[in-house]
Chains A and B, each alone.
Chain A
Amino acid sequence: MNLSRLFNPWVIFGATVLLLAGVVDNDYYLTLINFIGIHALLVVGLNLLLGYAGQISLGHAAFFGLGAYTSGILTATCGVNPWLALLAGLVICGITAVLIGVPALKLRGYYLAMATLGFGIIVYIFLNEAQGLTGGPSGLAGIPALSIFGFKLDTPKRLYLLIWPVLGGILALSANLVDSRTGRALRALHEGEAAAESLGVNTARLKLMIFVWSALYASLAGSFYAHTLNFIAPASFGFMFSIKLVTMVVLGGMASIWGSLLGAAVLTVLPEILTMFHDYEVIIFGAILMVVMIFLPRGLVRGIMDLWEFRRYKKEGGTIA
């Protein structure tokens, strides 16, 4: 067997997930890792839209919230099976994404950004105001744990064994999508809508598909979130969280599946290890967004790799045309 195949990122990912399952036994760390997984689900979806298709969403937290609240309300208030509730969340998010996406994706650039932002804020206000349904600003408590064939996923370790394999599957699915004909069409779309259309790409359908796709990822993440915390409140699904997701995409790198995982991991762990982070959180996000976009518009990881390549190239006596 070729040794270099062992350095395949998928092998490393799988091995790390297994290793962590065996080694980490601290509930706090496991919960943190679970949150990384949930955020990574959201960020991969947003990256498909933002990085690959070049369409911005500043209201992605809304789909996360819709998924979480559908799961929460159906299980805690109505006593529906959590898996059915999760499915209902996907259906609701999918339909909402189509209803919003069809008119919104006709808009470009700034207009699309504003439309998604407006949608996000409307959902946020609804979650706060529809108190009979959502519990209002004080939140919704008593969401039961997920279970598989009567096996309750009520500890961080058990949830870990659900979230991370699912994330692995989603990452593989996304990588596949990006490498397929659809992925090439997406990149064509990013470079120029008219050019993509002249090559026979149905851009309207493609944009809608990716929008719905990323909304479904967000809904799934929302359901997991609700069953992980057993409590949800609107504050987790506001404008700032949408911005946080965009920051994760930008930090990890636009149009990079593994970058999404990295961005999610860094910005989930940083606030935990730096206690002073909380006061400066907003400033740090703003600074990351500006600095990365000004100097390394392809993202931190790709940018640093580019710079490194460039230096090596110069060392070897090459010149840049």
Chain B
Amino acid sequence: MELASLLQYLISGLTNGAIYALVALGFVIIYHATTIINFAQGEMVMLGAMCAISIYQVYPSLPVAFLGGVALVTLVGILFERLALRPVKDPSAIVLIIITVGGGVFFKGVAMLLWGKEAYSFPSFSGETPFHLGGATLLPQNLWVLGLTAVVLLALEAFFRLTLVGKAMRACAYNPRAARLVGISQGRMVQLSFALSAGLGAAAGILIAPLTLGVYDMGTMVGLKGFCAAILGGLSSSFGGVLGGLILGVAESLATGLISSGYRDAVAFFILLVVLFLRPQGLIKGGS
């Protein structure tokens, strides 16, 4: 393959990878606080994109649509935890899997009713004029995705390291009982983790919407790939999740170019199976 097209695949791979990374972080945050895998995480991506699109139709301002979308979906995340997961009396893995899978399917169905089956476009954050880079084209939106993902990651890291609430969340993940002893409310931290990861998912959805359009069923695949990224990174490390996302995005993009575009989605799941079967603790062991 010539260098220019390789570069092109790398750009689109990294862009998708950044989105997977954001979704993966959502999985990691909830897993940390609750050891639950939230199968509805992908639908938050979809809801984020769709809400932002609807807000933009009413009030065409990008920052308002972005923040509004994130806020709405964060609220959905909180409600989901409060109404569907908190009341469970017997929180075994199977029960929680079925509930979160059911939640995901439910959100998708509601979105289909609200927005129908057509795809909606969302404007790029700053124009469509492409840059040229060694024969490959780079859209401004690619840079927005990569840049904003980096900003979100840094902000998140700062939140967990520097703020009291962030430290409390980490304490809860590290040892729930000890955390309770020093007066940290675990229920509140669980709620916060659902809010955070829903917001992250929504941000991912709004970032990618200008490139892929917003459709009611865009969430499932992105969610599963985000999980795949989280597994690649070992599920308990945010750094690992981000790295997993980028690796997955690039691998998928290269496979599209080298093998065939039809099998693009299969690549991610093939990697998922191989990792699960051979190295379920992830590529990067331990660390947090």
Contacts and interface: CB of A to CB of B under 8 A. Distances in A.
Is this pair of chains taken from one and the same complex? yes
Interface of A: 50, 54, 56, 58, 103-104, 107-111, 113-115, 117-119, 121-122, 125-126, 128-129, 239-240, 243, 246-247, 250, 279-290, 293-295, 297
B4 interface: no
Contacts of B131: none
15 contacts: A111-B231, A113-B39, A118-B228, A119-B269, A121-B266, A129-B260, A129-B263, A246-B101, A282-B108, A282-B112, A283-B106, A290-B102, A293-B98, A295-B87, A297-B95
Nearest to B31: A110
B273 interface: yes
Contact of B113 (A103, A114, A279, A295): A279
Given A114-B231, A122-B266, A280-B113, A104 B276 contact: yes
B261 to A, nearest CB: 10
Given A121-B265, A125-B262, A125-B265, A282 B93 contact: no
A243 B102 CA distance: 8
Contacts, number: 126
B110 interface: yes
B266 A286 contact: no
Given A108-B93, A110-B37, A282-B112, A125 B102 contact: no
Contacts of B102: 247, 285-290, 293
Contacts of A104: 276-277
Contact of A129 (B93, B99, B262): B262
B231 to A, nearest CB: 7
Interface in B256-288: 260, 262-263, 265-266, 269-270, 272-273, 276-277, 280
A281 B101 contact: no
Contacts of B90: 297
Central interface residue in B89, B94, B231, by most chain A CB within 10 Å: B94
B219 interface: no
A128 B272 contact: no
Given A50-B94, A280-B113, A286 B262 contact: no
Given A56-B97, A109-B97, A294-B88, A286 B273 contact: no
B142 to A, nearest CB: 26
Interface string B41-82: 000000000000000000000000000000000000000000
B106 A121 contact: no
B231 A289 contact: no
B281 to A, nearest CB: 11
Contacts of B89: 297
Contacts of A108: 93
Interface of B: 37, 39, 84, 87-90, 93-95, 97-99, 101-110, 112-113, 220, 224, 227-228, 231, 260, 262-263, 265-266, 269-270, 272-273, 276-277, 280
B61 to A, nearest CB: 32
Contacts of B272: 114-115, 118
A109 B224 CA distance: 16
Given A104-B277, A109-B93, A286-B107, A117 B262 contact: no
B200 to A, nearest CB: 19
B94 A109 contact: yes
B94 A118 contact: no
Nearest to B273: A118
Nearest to A298: B90
A126 B84 contact: no
B215 to A, nearest CB: 14
A164 to B, nearest CB: 29
A51 to B, nearest CB: 9
B273 A58 contact: no
